[in-house]
Structure 1
């Protein structure tokens, strides 16, 4: 009898938690829609000793330097956002997953593994993995700008 009550309670807690997660995701999508479906650009580089996650949207720049840490948030200046959107212009975001990395040192711990993720509205496009510091040429300038903006806000 107690087992059934305990199981019911656990299932109810999981259901409530799932609803909260879906509500948070829905709120993020609503915000993206309200701002005209602007881009969210995320760059992540990681290895055994490195963790660097940069997320930039029209309003904020989030920088996280350690797993499980608290990201530092800064307003995104209009000039930085304009530079990002200008760099995104010639990139076919739908095809970034097919871009070839110029080197693959990340495969044997010779470099941190990096990814570029671009979200537009409700669609997310993610690059294939590449070496931190050596992205595919099609996204190299964008990655350079993202890293530069992140370094200059701290």
Structure 2
């Protein structure tokens, strides 16, 4: 047997040893678990940070002492998880924003970070008021969730 077929066999076995399931970033034998979601938006004079995990929502705004952390219901977390599952996780870093007005102070710059099994998957920066269509439904749900907690 020559060197080339042996190299091809080794290369093929290395590729097939890492199996990935759907959009997950984890090997198929590892359970994919959403840890939390982080959204940060900022511009001149504006800052907002929102982190949601399976048991709490944390919100911070650039205003003296305007922060809150409250428990989140299991039903709302599961709803959020199902929305995040619809986003192609391995593509989050590659999604091209539809506009970049934040570069000229026309909009707040925003990032979406999803934490899965301890790994951070972070989007490219996008305009707060014009997110990529892949994120829109999830971001609308999160915005409504935040507003619900702000009202109470």
TM-score (norm 1): 0.72
Give, in whole Å, the separation in 2 of the partners of 1:133 and 1:146. Answer: 14
Q: How large is the Cα RMSD of the aligned pairs?
A: 1.7
Once the two structures are superposed, residues 90-144 of structure 1 have per-residue CA deviations (whole angstroms, 9 ceiling, x without a partner) of 2121211110111110010000000000001121100000000211001111111
Give, in whole Å, the separation in 2 of the partners of 1:60 and 1:70. Answer: 17
The runs of 5 or more residues in structure 1 that have no matched partner are 1-35
| Corresponding residue of 1:26 | none
Give, in whole Å, the separation in 2 of the partners of 1:93 and 1:67. Answer: 33
- Tell me the SS of whatever aligns to 2:106: coil
Runs of 4+ in 1 over 4 A off after TM superposition: 67-70
> Which of the pair is proportionally richer in strand?
2
> Which of the pair is proportionally richer in helix?
1
Give, in whole Å, the separation in 1 of the partners of 2:129 and 2:147. Answer: 14
Tell me, yes or no, if structure 1 residue 127 matches structure 2 residue 117.
no
Give, in whole Å, the separation in 2 of the partners of 1:150 and 1:134. Answer: 18
- Tell me the SS of whatever aligns to 1:138: helix
| Corresponding residue of 1:93 | 89
The runs of 5 or more residues in structure 2 that have no matched partner are 1-31
Tell me, yes or no, if structure 1 residue 41 matches structure 2 residue 37.
yes
